[in-house]
Amino acid sequence: MYRIRVFGDPVLRKRAKPVTKFDENLKKTIERMIETMYHYDGVGLAAPQVGISQRFFVMDVGNGPVAVINPEILEIDPETEVAEEGCLSFPEIFVEIERSKRIKVKYQNTRGEYVEEELEGYAARVFQHEFDHLNGVLIIDRISPAKRLLLRKKLMDIARTVKR
């Protein structure tokens, strides 16, 4: 199990570095992240959220856990939809976010093999959310300043819990 890093922790704002070693250590880290994601009832968890500034995440949108390493979004459909999202790094905050309905992605699995996929709906949404984490982008960056202002107190309360 990992401790989840919450809003205010500087690691969440860093641009994560590519994964270069596809070794046992990476597999163990991914297993631990999957365990942590399930423990907190998450559908996705990115490495920076457990303090690891590297480009990978895990997700499970109902078809079992998937590890996504060094992801790229190759195509992004201009058609979007709005839906509510939460984030384990923002406990008790839910915001409506507009995202593309369909994306074409490429990533590596734990063996380092390349995978290309087309995702839509919920899977596309979760992928985009986790992908954002690898670039230091958070859900509050995808809402209007007015909505962000309404969350100010909650955000300050979360940031105050960050262990330094």
* The binder of Zn ion chosen from 34, 52, 58, 87 (CB under 5 A): 87
Nearer to Zn ion, 62 or 78 (CB): 62
Only segment of 20-28, 65-73, 79-87, 143-151 that touches Zn ion (CB under 5 A): 79-87
Six-digit token string for 150? 């309404």
Asked if 37 touches Zn ion (CB under 5 A), the answer is no
Known catalytic residue at 96: no
Are the beta carbons of 88 and 47 closer than 8 angstroms? no
Q: According to the annotation, is 93 in a ligand binding site?
A: no
Asked if 50 touches Zn ion (CB under 5 A), the answer is no
Six-digit token string for 137? 């982008």
Asked if 6 touches Zn ion (CB under 5 A), the answer is no
The owner of tokens 């995702």 is 119
Only segment of 11-19, 66-74, 87-95, 107-115 that touches Zn ion (CB under 5 A): 87-95
| Residues ≥6 apart with Cβ < 8 Å to 164 | none
Nearer to Zn ion, 26 or 87 (CB): 87
Three-point CA angle 60, 63, 67, nearest 5°: 45
Q: According to the annotation, is 87 in a ligand binding site?
A: yes
Compute the half-sphere exposure of residue 62: CA atoms within 13 Å on the CB side of its CA.
Answer: 4
Dihedrals φ, ψ of 67, to 5°? -100, 130
Binding positions for Fe cation: 87, 129, 133
Question: Which positions are catalytic?
Answer: 130
**Footprint of Zn ion (CB under 5 A):** 87
